[in-house]
Amino acid sequence: MKAGGSAMTVVMLAIFVAMVIVANGYPAGARFMPFVVGIPAIGLCVLELVLDVRRRRESATALPAAAPPTAVEDHEAPLSPQQTLRRELVLWAYFLSLIGGILLFGFWLTIPVFLAAFLRFQAGASWTRALLMSAVTLALLFAVFEQAFRIELHPGFVTEYLQDRLGDGS
Amino acid sequence: MIETMFGSLFVMLTTPKIMGLMLVAVVIGIIVGATPGIGGRLSIALAIPFVFGMDMIAGSVFLLTMHAVNGTSGQISSIMFGVPGDGDDAATTLDGYPMAQKGEAGRALGASVTASGFGGIVGAVVFALMIPVLEPVVLAFSPAEFFLLAVFGITLIAFLAGSASIFKGIIVGLYGMMLATVGMDPQTGTARFAGDYLFLWDGISLVTAVLALFAVPEMIALGVRGGSISSVSREAARFSYRQLFHGVLEVPRHWWLALRTSVIGAVIGMIPGLGGSAAAWMCYGHAVQTSKHPERFGHGAVEGVIAPETASNAKEGGSLLPTLFFGIPGSSGMAVMMGAFLILGIQPGPAMLTQHLDVVWTLIWALVVGNVMAVIILLVLTRWVALLTFVNGAMLVPFIFVLVALGTYVSEGRWENMLVLVALSAIGYGLLRANWPRAPFVIGLVLGKIAEESLHKALQLWGMEFFLRPLSLVLIALITVTVAYAVYQNIRPSKVRQPMGASP
């Protein structure tokens, strides 16, 4: 049993406890369902923690077993925990940059920059290929959302602010 | 009913827009199915923004067709390279890959594509045959039973999906139900867990939640793994059309096996949570047991390809039944589909039988026509579709991230949903890393609102005595037995505990 499993149980327990405490301040009708769901969930989280401890004890005393066969064949050497963590952090950084970029600068500015950067630095594509793929994707999305669906995408707070300032100035 | 049945088919076939959308859906479904890293439910979630503005028939037919043909192309990598795209295709690898190694890749692919199409059609037929049988049962259900059915659905799915621990599955299901309570309470008008944030008053966006729990964690995991799934030569992807044709003929040659495994697959699909992986493995086992030469299995027996492929596609028709009539998704893919149905204005439940039978029949025909289209297209294009398995995973990740961001924003037109996306993605990735099931979350989120509404109605109608209704007692007994068995499974010594083969 991995410690990560218990950590997730603790996170879930914290979420349920917090939501039940908040729900306690609602009128009876409104807190009914959160209680019906939350209280048994808290009980189950506690039970799961107890079971985790039991499994850890069992596995500590048991002989090491052979690794179970996996459904998907792995052709590459397994990553070390440090390598995995580093890759995870990089990917999360890209994802958060995309979301942050969209919120600040809008979809149309962020998408091409994000795609080009990811394809070049993370996927190892050449600059030409990365820029070409970004441009084609941008054109396709623009055609679908702006031209076909007429959906106005988030312009970005900074972009909006600058547009307002430039508009005031002219 | 006959009039509605054939009227729906006629309308579908004579509406160019619907047929055009189906063709697009089939092509996308085939590409997505063959591309490593994008599963069926993920493709539906990503496609939801693109069906905004469509009417309920067009949108639902598009999504269902795409979902139905996903598995048809998914087995290409299993056969060509011995690398299953997902759990559904793992059983096909056992005999499909040895066939390819013997130089019979074309025969194996012809058999698997035809078997998939045949299975999909039989699954739809089984669903259609069940309608008159189920009608009185569905109409006998009251709000009390729908509440208990929602609880039973979550229990069953958590039980089947949570291979290591049912409690984890139930906890995740309850987490989904808890998030379903976020927003304005219809009974008291209280804004629950929303504070002054107006965007939360309508509740957590289902599209955002699905993308956060599935798409983002899967893409990060794919990015961490990196590389394409195949490390073999592209030369291996070559085969003749003559071989492919021989493979196609294997299905009529083994029609009795194909029919049996299709029906078994459709019936398994009706049981919430069992999913395609269980259907495929059970039917593979059935093929081995009923064969006169079981020793051939594992060494390139074509029956070992036909049985799992018919089953995994037939289960789509089966899983549509509890989704549409009871509001209990038959699989995690169907849970996402159900969310999409709700967005399109299709409200699953008894009304589907009484008021929207035309929609039901259209969806059944969509399964049939979609599968026929997929078989024809794949038989022509398999050689080129196989090359998709060489796509580098790292190249897909940024495009999926962009689609996730677009889907999150477009679903409700609110930038605040991006923040919800980030928060839920962190939890989704935590669940993936800790090997917790995520499917019960979607089912909990979808069923949470239905359960609360039904509970309030039941309490208003019968008070606390609603538990004592005969049908309620049956459902309570089923929930109790499931939970008791799960507790027994978890409490007894781990050395005798067997893992269950179910989809996440």
- Where in chain A are the domains? 3-61, 81-169
- The span from the CA of B352 to the CA of B134, in Å, is 12
Size of the A and B interface in Cβ pairs below 8 Å: 188
Q: Per this entry, what is the length of chain B? A: 504
pLDDT computed for residue B312 by the predictor: 84
Q: Please answer whether residues B43 and B87 qualify as being in contact, where contact means their C-beta atoms are separated by less than 8 angstroms.
A: no
Read off the pLDDT band of B38 (50, 70, 90).
low
* Percent share of chain B, pLDDT over 90: 9
So what's the pLDDT on residue A101? Answer: 96
pLDDT above 70 for B127: yes
Fill in the amino acid letter for B13: L
Q: Closest to B177 (Cβ–Cβ): which among A37, A107, A145? A: A37
Q: Residue A58's pLDDT is what?
A: 76
d(CA A52, CA A5): 8
> A97: closest CA among A80, A125, A121, A128?
A121
Helices (H) and strands (E) in chain B, counts: 22, 2
Residues 6+ apart with CB under 8 A from B303: B95, B254, B257, B287, B291, B297
Contacts of B281 in chain A (CB under 8 A): none
Which pLDDT score is estimated for A20?
Answer: 94
Q: Where are the alpha helices (DSSP H) in chain A?
A: 3-23, 28-61, 81-105, 107-117, 127-141, 157-169
Confidence tier at B498 by pLDDT (50, 70, 90): very low
Q: Which residue has the higher pLDDT, B255 or B169?
A: B255
How high is the pLDDT of residue A71?
41
The residue type of A30 is A
pLDDT at B135: 76
> Contact, B320 vs B360, CB < 8 A?
no
Smallest CA–CA distance, residue B219 to chain A, in Å, is 9
List the 89-118 stretch of B: residues with Cβ below 8 A of A. Answer: 90
The torsion angle over the Cα atoms of residues B249, B252, B254 and B257, rounded to 10 degrees, is 140
How far apart, in Å, are the Cα atoms of B367 and each of B22, B110, B502?
A: 10, 20, 23
Closest CA in chain A for residue B82: A73
**Chain A residue at shortest CA distance from B54:** A149
* Angle formed by the axes of helices B216-225 and B393-412, nearest 10°: 170
d(CA B171, CA B434) in angstroms, rounded, equals: 14
Question: Cα(B501)–Cα(B288) distance, rounded to whole angstroms?
Answer: 18
Residue-averaged pLDDT of chain B: 80
What number is the ipTM of this complex? Answer: 0.87
The ranges of chain A with pLDDT < 50 are 1, 66-75
Q: What residue type is assigned to position B20 of the chain?
A: G
User: What residues are paired with B184 via a beta bridge?
Assistant: B191
Name residue B191's beta-bridge partners: B184
Mean pLDDT value of segment B121-138: 84
Q: What chain B residue is nearest to A48 in terms of C-alpha separation? A: B167
Mean pLDDT of B199-206: 85
Do B389 and B228 meet the contact criterion of CB atoms below 8 Å apart?
yes
DSSP character for A77? P
Q: In whole angstroms, give the CA distance from residue A155 to residue A167.
A: 15
The H or E element spanning position B184 is strand B183-184
| DSSP code for B192 | E
Q: List CB contacts (< 8 A) between B397 and chain A.
A: 91, 118, 122-123
pLDDT at B398: 92
Average pLDDT over residues B486-495: 64
Is residue A65 classed as helix, strand or coil in its secondary structure?
Answer: coil
- Residue of A26, A27, A37 lying closest to B174 (CB–CB): A37
Q: What is the mean pLDDT of residues B25-29?
A: 86
pLDDT of residue B499: 39
Torsional class of B275: left (φ above 0), alpha (ψ -120 to 50), beta (otherwise): left
Beta-carbon separation of B406 and A124 below 8 A: no
Long-range pairs of A48-51 with CB within 8 A, sequence gap ≥ 24: A48/A9, A48/B165, A48/B167, A48/B168, A48/B171, A49/A6, A49/A9, A49/A10, A49/A13, A51/B165, A51/B167, A51/B490, A51/B491
Amino acid type, B312 = S
pLDDT of residue A127: 92
Query: What letter does residue B82 receive in the DSSP assignment?
Result: S
Q: Do A11 and B165 touch (CB under 8 A)?
A: no
Residue A69 confidence (pLDDT): 45
For residue B143, CA distances in Å to B80, B172, B281, B326 come to 50, 24, 36, 11
CA distance A163 to chain B (A): 19
d(CA B72, CA B228): 20
Identify the residue with better confidence: B385 or B55: B55
Which residue is listed with tokens 């569905």? Answer: B138
Most confident of A114-118, B18-22, B127-131, B397-401: A114-118
Q: What is the pLDDT, as a whole number, of residue B497?
A: 45
Q: Indicate the length of chain A as a whole number.
A: 170
Q: Provide, for chain B, the percentages of residues in helix, strand and coil under a 3-state DSSP scheme, each rounded to the nearest 5.
A: 80, 0, 20
Amino acid at A91: L
State how far residue A30 is from chain B, nearest Cα, in angstroms: 6
- Residues in chain A with CB shorter than 8 Å from the CB of B167 are 44, 47-48, 51
List the one residue out of B124, B30, B58 whose CA is nearest residue B379: B30
Burial class (CB in 10 A: 0-12, 13-18, 19+), B444: buried
Is pLDDT above 70 for B439?
A: yes
Q: How far apart (Å, rounded) are the C-alpha atoms in residues B81 and B229?
A: 9
- Chain B positions in Cβ-Cβ contact with residue A34 (cut-off 8 Å): 178, 181, 192-193
**Which pTM does this prediction carry?**
0.78
Least Cα distance to B394 among B232, B222, B254 occurs for B222
Name, of A140-149, B24-33, B305-314, the range with top average pLDDT.
Answer: B305-314
CA distance B230 to chain A (A): 8
Query: What Å distances lie between residue B310 and A72, B223, B264, B489, CA to CA?
Result: 21, 32, 9, 31
Is B325:B120 a contact under the CB 8 Å cutoff? no
B199 at A interface, C-beta within 8 A: no
Question: Distance from first CA to last CA of chain A, Å, rounded?
Answer: 65
| A38·B436 Cβ contact <8 A | no
Bin B233: left if φ > 0, else alpha if -120 < ψ < 50, else beta: beta
Domain ranges of chain B: 2-492
The count of other CB atoms within 10 Å of the CB of residue B469 is 17
Inter-chain residue contact B455 with A29, CB threshold 8 Å: no
Contact B398 A58 (CB under 8 A): no
pLDDT-derived band at B246, boundaries 50, 70, 90? confident
